[in-house]
Amino acid sequence: MRLVKYLHKNKICLGVRVDDGLVADSGFADLRQFLETPAARRSEILTEASGHGRPVRPEKLLAPVAERCQIIYTGGNYASHLAEVAHLVTPKEPVFFPGLWSSVIGPGDPIAIPEPDSTVDYEVELAFVISKTASKVKASEAWDYVYGYTLVNDVSARDVMQREAMQIMLCKSPDTFCPVGPEIVSRDEIADVYGLRITSTVNGVLKQDSTTGTMLTRIPELLEFLSRTVTLQPGDVVTTGTPGGAGAFRNPPEFMSPGDTVTVAVEQIGELTNPLVAGWLQEEGNRAQEHEAEGIHA
């Protein structure tokens, strides 16, 4: 099953992807409600919904995540990426950091570069979606807590951590810096999640190219380590790290600019594409509108 969150007639809906880009209503209001519904009843609701109306073409795809879910990134989980950052850090255990909800955007939404001198980078990441409350999960039982997979682009403002190495949140979670999507693919759709090609391109030029099988700590072990001290809820998203090839570590470094288009992809899961825009110009435009409004009301 491939779940999408979308707009139809100005209403946010959760649907099931069918042929030719069409989507059938799932019968559920949101992803968390879907995941918290017992499997047998979920199947009944899906069947009932499929009999009501024809599939539609979404007006717009949204980030396929539960409202206000936790986004948790895994750092340094591919040997090829560790090799290019070895001069900066060598982790001794799985490394995690949170992403802010305000950074989440969907397919096609613009990534806003904060400042003219921001050095903004791409990082393709396979992510898994939690199916039920997960606390102190054993690796041997971990798959029972994974509903499926999606894509995350871990966009990073490298200049922030160059200025202050401990400033992870402001590097990783500015507004619009967490594109997610385009859909959630249920676990049963993927025979081997460690046999998938994982790539990123900027303006059609290949930048990262690896396979998910080269991740160092695999999903069950990541979930076991993380859930020792952090309780995850249905709909939470956990990434699995990025392979080598990020722009900051190329020679010379390559960063994204307004007008660029970035696509991250994982085989069998899909492609997530977003344009880059000048966020500082948007802010100036907003301030101009505010000043104009103040003049009208003065």
**Mean pLDDT over the full length of the chain:** 92
Percent of the chain at pLDDT above 90? 82
What does the pLDDT read at residue 291? Answer: 47
Three-state DSSP class for residue 248: helix
Residue 149 φ then ψ, to 5°? -130, 155
pLDDT tens per residue, range 69-111: 999 999 999 989 888 877 777 778 999 999 999 999 999 999 9
Q: What is the mean pLDDT of residues 115-129?
A: 97
Q: What is the mean pLDDT of residues 127-133?
A: 98
Largest CA distance in the chain: 66
Structure token digits, residue 228 = 């020792």
Residue 268 has pLDDT above 50, yes or no: yes
What does the pLDDT read at residue 160? Answer: 94
Q: How confident is the model at residue 272 (pLDDT cuts 50, 70, 90)?
A: very high
Do 36 and 178 fall within a single domain?
no
State the amino acid at position 284 in one-letter form: E
Percent of the chain at pLDDT above 70? 94
Residue 296 has pLDDT above 90, yes or no: no
Pairing of strands 71-75, 237-239: parallel
Do 32 and 79 fall within a single domain?
no
- Which range among 67-71, 173-177, 258-262, 292-296 shows the weakest confidence by mean pLDDT? 292-296
Domain annotation covers residue 294: no
Residue showing tokens 């990441």: 125
Cβ contacts of residue 255 below 8 Å, gap of 6+? 119, 120, 121, 158, 247, 248
What does the pLDDT read at residue 227? Answer: 98
Phi-psi region of 276 (alpha: psi -120 to 50; beta: other; left: phi over 0): beta
Do 143 and 206 fall within a single domain?
yes
Three-state DSSP class for residue 50: helix
Q: Bridge-partner residues for 156, per DSSP?
A: 121
28/33 Cα distance (integer angstroms): 7
Residue 23 has pLDDT above 70, yes or no: yes
Domain annotation covers residue 19: yes
Do 141 and 205 fall within a single domain?
yes
143/223 Cα distance (integer angstroms): 9
40/161 Cα distance (integer angstroms): 48
Do 136 and 254 fall within a single domain?
yes
Do 135 and 210 fall within a single domain?
yes
Do 260 and 149 fall within a single domain?
yes
What does the pLDDT read at residue 89? Answer: 72
Domain annotation covers residue 81: yes
Q: What is the mean pLDDT of residues 10-39?
A: 93
Q: Which helix (H) or strand (E) holds 84?
A: helix 79-85
Burial code (b: 16+ CB inside 10 Å, e: under 16) for 268-298 equals ebbebbbebbbbbeeeeeeeeeeeeeeeeee
Q: How confident is the model at residue 54 (pLDDT cuts 50, 70, 90)?
A: confident
Cβ-in-10-Å burial (0-12, 13-18, 19+) of 132 comes to middle
Do 79 and 214 contact (CB within 8 A), yes or no? yes
What is the domain range of residue 271?
71-282
Closest CA relative to residue 194, chosen from 174, 173, 216: 216
pLDDT tens per residue, range 176-223: 999 999 999 999 999 999 999 999 999 999 999 999 999 999 999 999
Q: What is the mean pLDDT of residues 161-186?
A: 95
Do 270 and 252 fall within a single domain?
yes
Residue showing tokens 């989980």: 77
pLDDT tens per residue, range 216-261: 999 999 999 999 999 999 999 999 999 999 999 999 999 999 999 9
